[in-house]
Amino acid sequence: METTPYILKEFKAFTPNTSIGDVKSFFEETTFSHFPVIEMNAFLGMISEADIEGLDNLNATLNDYQYLLNHFSVEVHNNILSILELFAINNTNVIAVLNKNSEYVGYYDLIDVLHTFNNTTFFKSEGEILLIEKAVKDYSISEVCQIVESNKGAVLGVYITENDGVTAKMTVKFSSNDVNEIIQSLRRYNYTILTNHEEDFLLEDLKNRSDYLQKYLDI
C-alpha cells in the first residue's frame, strides 16, 4: 500500500541551532516521543523527549547534545510492514522520511500509518485466520501460500508474528470453502496449528476420542 501521501510536514524539523528550551516546549505541546533534527536538508538524527527531559540549560542548543541523537529513518518507498517494524524497534511514534539521496522530506506519525495498515486487504477482507508455527530453518512463506492455493484457497495475507531464532510464528489470512483441508495440509508439511478452528476435524476427532476414553475410565 502506498504510504507517501501520509508523509507529514506540519511541524518543521529541529536544527542544531534549536534551543533546548524550544525543544522542550515543542514536546510539551505535542504527543511526539521523538522528532527529526536536520541541517539544511541533511538528516542528523532523531531527538527524544526522554533524552532532553533532564537537561536544565534551556539556552543551550541541540548542537551541544548531538551525542543524544538516535539514527533511525525510513526511505520514501519503504513498504508499510518495514515502517511499522521500525516504529516498534525504536519505541517511537514518529519516524523521519528520507529520499533516495538521504535528504529529509518529512516524517510519519504512527497513528496515520496504523490507519493505513487497517485499510489493507489483510484487515478489511473477510476470511479465515490461522496462527501457525514451524522451525525457522524450515518455514517458508511461499510454501504456506502454495499450500493454501493448492487447496483452492486464496491468500489474503501472511506475516511473521514472532521469530525467536528457533521457531517462527506466522499469521495467515485466507478465504476458502474447505478450511479443514488447508489445516490438514499444513500439518502434513509439519506446521503446528496454534489456533483452534471449528472446522479443524482432527481436533474434533481427538475431542471425541478423549470423551469416549473418559467415559470408559468412568465405568
| Average pLDDT of every residue of the chain | 86
pLDDT-derived band at 26, boundaries 50, 70, 90: very high
At 125-183, the pLDDT tens digits run 788 888 899 999 998 889 999 999 999 999 988 878 788 889 988 888 899 888 889 99
At 51-83, the pLDDT tens digits run 999 999 999 999 999 999 999 999 998 877 778
Is the model's pLDDT at 20 over the cut of 90?
yes
So what's the pLDDT on residue 1? 57
Percent of the chain exceeding pLDDT 70 equals 85
Angle at 157 between CA 153 and CA 162, to 5 degrees: 120
Is the model's pLDDT at 217 over the cut of 70?
no
So what's the pLDDT on residue 113? 85
At 191-207, the pLDDT tens digits run 998 887 655 544 444 44
pTM attached to this predicted model? 0.63
Is the model's pLDDT at 118 over the cut of 80?
no
Sketch the domain layout of the chain as residue ranges.
4-117, 121-202
What CATH code is assigned to 121-202?
Answer: 3.30.70.1340
What CATH code is assigned to 4-117?
Answer: 3.10.580.10
So what's the pLDDT on residue 38? 98
